[in-house]
Amino acid sequence: MANEDFDATRTFQRQTILNLYNSAIPTEIISFQLDIGQEEVEKIIEEDRKEQQNQDSVTVSRSMNNFLRAIGSARNHKERSGNQRPERELCRFLFSY
């Protein structure tokens, strides 16, 4: 029970720090108001920044994979030169051309 309360408090405090920082409140003020060290505030902000970059990288990678898959499908169709049009998957939707 105590661990759950600690985790909930820690999560709430982390989100509060990020909300204040995203509202253009300086880290010095955040640390003073929440009575925690400025280094801790900056560490939490940096951790969030890294998580966001990782999420952005995954999104870009998925988009590039979908794009390259469509190009590969078009190239294969051209090489086969058949009358049948291939089905291509773009953005998780199936299209027939």
At 21, is the secondary structure helix, strand, or coil? helix
Tokens, residue 25? 């409140």
What pLDDT sits at residue 58?
86
Average pLDDT value for residue range 9-25:
93
Q: Where would I find the beta strands (DSSP E) of the chain? A: 87-90, 93-96
User: Which of these, 90, 45, 86, lies nearest to 66 by C-alpha position?
Assistant: 90
- Residue type at position 3: N
pTM flag (> 0.75) = no
Q: How many other CB atoms sit within 10 Å of the CB of residue 25?
A: 13
Are 31 and 37 in contact by the 8 Å Cβ rule? The answer is yes
Q: What is the residue extent of each domain of the chain?
A: 2-96
Q: Which tens digit of pLDDT belongs to each residue from 34-87?
A: 999 999 999 999 999 999 988 888 888 888 888 888 887 777 665 565 556 555
Specify the higher pLDDT residue, 9 or 44. Answer: 44
User: Residue 24 — very low, low, confident or very high, per pLDDT cuts 50/70/90?
Assistant: very high
